[in-house]
Structure 1
Amino acid sequence: MTSRLRVLVHGGGIGGLTLATALARRGHTVEVAELRGELEALGVGIIQPSNALHALREIGVLDDCLAVGFEWEILTVADPEGNALARIPQPRMDDVPPSNGIPRPALARVLNAAAVAAGAKIRFSTTITELTDDGSGVDVTLSDGSSDRWDLVVGFDGIGSPLRSRLYGDRYTPEYTGFANWRVTVPRLPDVRGVVMGTAQETKALLTPITDDTMYLAAVFAEPEDFRPDPERAHEQFAERLRMFSGPIAEALGAVTDPAAVVYSRISQVTVDAPWHVGRVVLAGDAAHASTPQLAQGAAMAVEDAVVLAEVLDAQDGVPEALTAWEERRRPRALWVQALSRAVLKQEMGGETTAEEDELLKIGVPGAAHVLVNPY
C-alpha cells in the first residue's frame, strides 16, 4: 500500500523490536509499548540460526549481531566424556553465516538501537488498558494515560500475551510440557567453537558459545510443574542432574559457584488455532505459536513473522488484506516448527510420540535445518 501506516506494537522483545525497525525503515509511524521499565532481557543467550540471521539482515542488524556474538558452523555430538562422535555442518541461507550465538542482553541492545535509529518510539512501563477496533482503525488507551488511534495493533507480547487474552479470553493459555530448561553462563572453553551436544542415556546437554569469552550450558529435564530450584543451591541441583557427564560439561559446571547464576524456565507451548488476527489486531511470535526450544527456532520464527508482516503491509492494498496474506504465509511454517520441536522434545526425553509426530521425526533435526534455510 502507498499510504503510511500508524502501527502500535505491544511488546518490545525480539519480534516486536524487529517489526518496529522494519516498519519504521519503510516510513511508517511506529510506537512500541513495553511493560518492562527498562531495556533488559531475561535468560542467558540464544542461538541465531541462518534463517534468523537472514531476516535480521533485512533490517540492517546482521553485522551488529555478529560483532557482539560468536559465529559458528559445526555442531559436535559428543559422548559423556566429551569425545566427538559426529561433527555436523549447519546449513546457511544465501550468503549469511550458518549460526551465531549471542547473549540476550546484547541482542536486546542491538534491536533497541536499530528501532530508535529507524524512527520508532519506545514507551517503557506501558501496556494497553483499553482497545476499540471499529474496522477502520483501533483506538487505544495506554497505562500511562495517553490515547491514540492506530491503523494496526500487533501483539508481540510473549507466551503470556495480554493481547491474546483480550481477543480470546482464557481459550489459549500456555500449556506446560512437563519439562524445564536449566541454563547458566560460564567462561568459554577454548575448544568450544561451535555447539557441543553431550549425550548420555536420555540426557543431552549443550555448550553454546555466545562471545569470545563466554558460553552457556543448557539442559532439559522432566520437572513437576510446581518445582523451583533452591535459591541457595540451584547450581548444585543442576550439577546433580548432569552427574553422568565428565569432560567439558563437568568443567563448565565446575565454574558455577553462584546459585543465582542458574536460569530455570518451564517449557510451555501455545497454539492459537483461531485466526491470529481479529480485525486490525494481530498476534505474532510466541503470542500466537510459542514452541519448545529443541530446534532453536523460537526467536527465529518471531523475526521471520516481523519481516514478512512488514513486507506484506507494503505489498497489499489494505491492512485486512495484508493480515490475511501474512497469516497464509506464516501459519504453516511456524506451526510445523512448533510440532516438530515438540516431537523432538518428547523423543529426546523418552516420551511417547503420536503417529503424526513419528512422521515428523523422520526428517530429523538436520533435515529440519535444511528445510528452514529455504525462503520464508
Structure 2
Amino acid sequence: MTAVNKVAIAGAGVTGLAAAIQLAKAGVDVDVFEAKPELSALGSGISLQGNALRVFDALGAWDDIRAAGYPFEGLNLRAPGPGAPIVAELPDVKTGGPDYPAAMGMPRPELARILLDHAQRAGADVRFGVRVTGVEQHADTVWVSSDDAVLGTYGLLIGADGLNSAVRELIGIETKPEPTGMGIWRSFVSRPSEVVRSELYYGGPVYIAGYTPTGEDTMYAFLVEKAQHRFSVSDEEATRIMLEESRAYDGPWNAIRADLENGAHANYTWFTKHLVSEPWNRGRVVILGDAAHSCPPTIAQGAAQGLEDALVLTELLTGRDAVEASLWDEFHARRLPRAKAVVEASVQLGQWQIDGDRDADAGGLIFGIAQQMAQPA
C-alpha cells in the first residue's frame, strides 16, 4: 500500500536520492531528474551528525557510507597563534543514538556516488542533464516537463533541487535564500595523523578556522570570513587568499598550507539562510531539503535535515493509501518545527560571531539543539 505509484524527483543530491531510495524500495516507480550533466567528482568534504547516520541506516546505505568515511567522537577547540594549543575537548551528543558515532566526515563525491548506486539498485531511474522547467497539476496527477518536452505524468513531484530551486519558483513560493554576512573558503587536503576529530579555532583574522577528517588520508579545511565578492577570482588567487588568511593558525594548519602551496584547490561560497513557512507543498508538488530551508553549517545539520525531510515524507507516502490533507498536516508537524529550530540556532551562532558577542552561550545553544536532534524525526 502506497499513496502514490509513480513519483518524479527534481535533484540528485543527498535529499533527492534518499527519497528515491526509500520510494523505489517500496515498489514506487521513481524518475530522478538532475540538471547537471553527470555526478560531480569534485567537492570537498561534508560533516555528518549522528541523526544523519541514523537515516543512512534506514536507507540501507550505512555500511557503505561508514566504510567510505571517517567516524569520530568529540570536538577540539584550539587557540590561534604559536603552537595552536587545545583549549577545550568537548564531547558530542550522539544525536543518532548509541548505535552510531557522534559524527563522521567524508568526501562529498563519495557520499553522492554511494547514494546514487543505492537508488539505482533499488530501481530508480536517474537521468542527468535534465532540468525540470514546467509543472502542470491536475486532479490527482502532475505533468512534469523540461524545455517544453513532457517528461511524464506522476502522482507526486518532489523538488529537492537545492538552494536555487526551480520547483520552488514553479509552484509560486517566493521565499529565497539570503546571505547571512559570512563567506567560507574550503579545501580538500591530506590529513595529518594528529587530526582525529573536528577542530575549530576561534579568533584571529577570520571568524572560524577549522578542519574535519574525511578518511584515513584526507580531510577538508575551511576558513569562515566576512562575506566578500570573491566569486570571480582565479584558482591561483583563491589559493593565495586561503594561504594568507590561514597564517595566524599553527598546528595542523602548517600541513594544510603545504598542500595549498602544492596546488590544493580552494573554493568559496557564502552562507545563506531561509525557511519556507508551512506548507512546503502546493497540491501534489512538495519541496524538501535546501529548497525548503538553508542555514550556515555552524552545527553541521544541513544535510541531516534534508535527509530527515526525505525519510519522514517517504514514510508517510509508503504507509498510506492516498495523498490527502492529513498526510501533509503530519508531515509539516514533524518537519517544520525541527527545521526551524536548526535554522534559527545556526544563524544565531553565526551572528554572535559577526557581533563579537563574548557573553553568548554558544555551548548551551549547541547542546540544546543536539538534544532535540537526538529524538528521531
Q: TM-score range by the shorter chain?
A: over 0.9
1:168 match: secondary structure: coil
Q: Which residue of structure 2 aligns with residue 371 of structure 1?
A: 372
Q: Are the counterparts in 2 of residues 270 and 287 from structure 1 also a CA contact under 8 Å? A: no
Q: Are the counterparts in 2 of residues 36 and 126 from structure 1 also a CA contact under 8 Å? A: yes
Q: Which residue of structure 2 aligns with residue 304 of structure 1?
A: 308
Greater mean alpha carbon deviation, residues 360-369 or residues 330-339: 360-369
Q: Residues 89, 260 of structure 1: CA spacing in aligned structure 2 closer, same or farther, 3 A cutoff?
A: closer
Please report how far the alpha carbon of residue 128 of structure 1 lies from its aligned counterpart in structure 2 after TM superposition: 1.8
Q: Residues 360, 371 of structure 1: CA spacing in aligned structure 2 closer, same or farther, 3 A cutoff?
A: farther
Q: Which residue of structure 2 aligns with residue 264 of structure 1?
A: 268
Please report how far the alpha carbon of residue 183 of structure 1 lies from its aligned counterpart in structure 2 after TM superposition: 0.6
Q: Are the counterparts in 1 of residues 51 and 374 from structure 2 also a CA contact under 8 Å? A: yes
Q: Which residue of structure 1 aligns with residue 72 of structure 2?
A: 72
1:182-212 Cα shifts (integer Å, max 9, x gaps): 1101110001011111222563211110010
1:278-317 alignment runs, 5 A limit: 278-317=282-321
**How does the TM-score come out when normalised to structure 2?**
0.92
1:224-243 alignment runs, 5 A limit: 224-225=228-229, 228-243=232-247
Q: Which residue of structure 2 aligns with residue 179 of structure 1?
A: 182
Distance 2:263 2:185 in 1: 12
Q: Residues 359, 207 of structure 1: CA spacing in aligned structure 2 closer, same or farther, 3 A cutoff?
A: closer
Please report how far the alpha carbon of residue 164 of structure 1 lies from its aligned counterpart in structure 2 after TM superposition: 0.7
Q: Are the counterparts in 1 of residues 208 and 225 from structure 2 also a CA contact under 8 Å? A: no
Please report how far the alpha carbon of residue 281 of structure 1 lies from its aligned counterpart in structure 2 after TM superposition: 0.3
Q: Which residue of structure 2 aligns with residue 325 of structure 1?
A: 330
Matched AA of 2:376: P
Matched residues, number: 371
Q: Are the counterparts in 1 of residues 3 and 317 from structure 2 also a CA contact under 8 Å? A: no
Distance 2:32 2:287 in 1: 14
Matched AA of 1:82: A
Q: Which residue of structure 1 aligns with residue 93 of structure 2?
A: 91
1:124 to 107, 112, 128: 128
Q: Are the counterparts in 2 of residues 200 and 245 from structure 1 also a CA contact under 8 Å? A: no
1:104-135 Cα shifts (integer Å, max 9, x gaps): 00001000000001000001100223211113
2:355 match: secondary structure: coil
Distance 2:215 2:45 in 1: 10
Q: Identity of aligned pairs, percent? A: 34
Q: Which residue of structure 2 aligns with residue 253 of structure 1?
A: 257
Q: Does the alignment pair 1:339 with 2:344?
A: yes
Q: Which residue of structure 2 aligns with residue 11 of structure 1?
A: 11
Distance 1:24 1:266 in 2: 35
1:194-241 Cα shifts (integer Å, max 9, x gaps): 111122256321111001000111121002346644432212211222
Matched AA of 1:325: E
- Give structure 1 stretches of 5+ with no counterpart: none
Distance 2:58 2:180 in 1: 34
Distance 2:33 2:361 in 1: 38
Distance 1:327 1:12 in 2: 23
Q: Residues 132, 359 of structure 1: CA spacing in aligned structure 2 closer, same or farther, 3 A cutoff?
A: farther
Q: Residues 269, 375 of structure 1: CA spacing in aligned structure 2 closer, same or farther, 3 A cutoff?
A: same
Q: Are the counterparts in 2 of residues 343 and 360 from structure 1 also a CA contact under 8 Å? A: no
Matched AA of 1:114: H
Please report how far the alpha carbon of residue 274 of structure 1 lies from its aligned counterpart in structure 2 after TM superposition: 4.8
Q: Residues 50, 144 of structure 1: CA spacing in aligned structure 2 closer, same or farther, 3 A cutoff?
A: farther
1:102 match: secondary structure: strand
Distance 1:151 1:21 in 2: 17
Q: Residues 42, 174 of structure 1: CA spacing in aligned structure 2 closer, same or farther, 3 A cutoff?
A: farther
2:252 match: secondary structure: helix
Matched AA of 1:346: Q
- Give structure 2 stretches of 5+ with no counterpart: none
1:327-359 Cα shifts (integer Å, max 9, x gaps): 221000011100100000111233689xxxx99
Q: Which residue of structure 1 aligns with residue 216 of structure 2?
A: 212
Q: Which residue of structure 2 aligns with residue 106 of structure 1?
A: 110
Distance 1:2 1:244 in 2: 56
